A and B are shown apart, each in its own frame.
Chain A
Amino acid sequence: MSSTIETLRRMAGDIARNFEAMGHDQAVLATADHIYQFWDPRMKAMIFADDHSKLIPIARDAIEHLAEKGHPGSQTRATKWNDVDGVGRSDAG
């Protein structure tokens, strides 16, 4: 069974690899955005505190971007949400 930090590294790497086609810089922002929007604070804290050399480059740069500069804003439509009085967008189901 994987440890939690191994799982988090794999998750960050999976996200990064699937954004890779955007090009490195955009993929870094999209990965950072994704982690910011979907990860629980303790997961973020664990990966911030981890040895980032164990991450693939896009994931490493995304984590460092998040840790140092914070959320880069929504990078894909998947991370845009309905406003308080908004309709139309939906999510999983």
Chain B
Amino acid sequence: MWRWFHRLGSPRWFYQTSGRWLPWLAVLTLALLVIGTLWGLAFAPEDARQGNSFRIIYIHVPVSFLALAGYYVMAVAGAVNLIWRIKLADMVMTAAAPLGAALTFLALFTGAIWGKPTWGTYWVWDARITSMLVLLFLYLGVVVLRNSFSGRDTAGKACAILALVGTVNIPIIYKSVDWWFTLHQPATIKLSGAPSMHPDMFKPLLVMILAYYCFYALVLILNTRTEILHRERRTAWVNDLAVSELAVTELTSNEQ
């Protein structure tokens, strides 16, 4: 088991293994995305009250799921780096931070677009929206902190600490915002207590959630691979890789 653990910590092993899995994952992601999108946008029944505008749920909900889950991926990777000094974990964390920030922004953005026809306004100071805004700040803090350090190890440790502090604070922030919202209850439609969905609408949503999980994994692996190549660019195996890639391209250009 420990050998497996050590191998997992090797960027080279990760690069080669993920390279073998990547095409399958890409095909699976694409298939799920196409099926889910077509099913959700074209075949799912129209909502009785919201009409077609509800269909943004097939992007909004999966993106919001992953924005939250992505923070824990980032924080766990940071903790692994902090505790076991595994460099690969730091590379995963570096890859996860901007990805999570982008997903959080998308969740807020699609929510605003959905809010306009449904509630008549782009922005409501609702508990969930405010929590997502806080999450965006937490992500941006990690991204900016990472970029402002020149030393890579220092940046990794500092970001890991920040992500962990954020993790233990997320429940407190979430609860406080929830409480604040009930205290200042504005005269808008409540988000919670939405009517349960019809199975015909729910099934494509499940497919889309699955598709976005695969998509997240795919982009995370691609970002991590780029980070690995960038950090290990002076090692022999990356050089060999570059030389063989170069040879392949030369070969194909010669054939033409």
Do A and B interact with each other, yes or no? Answer: no
Residues of A within 8 A of B (CB): none
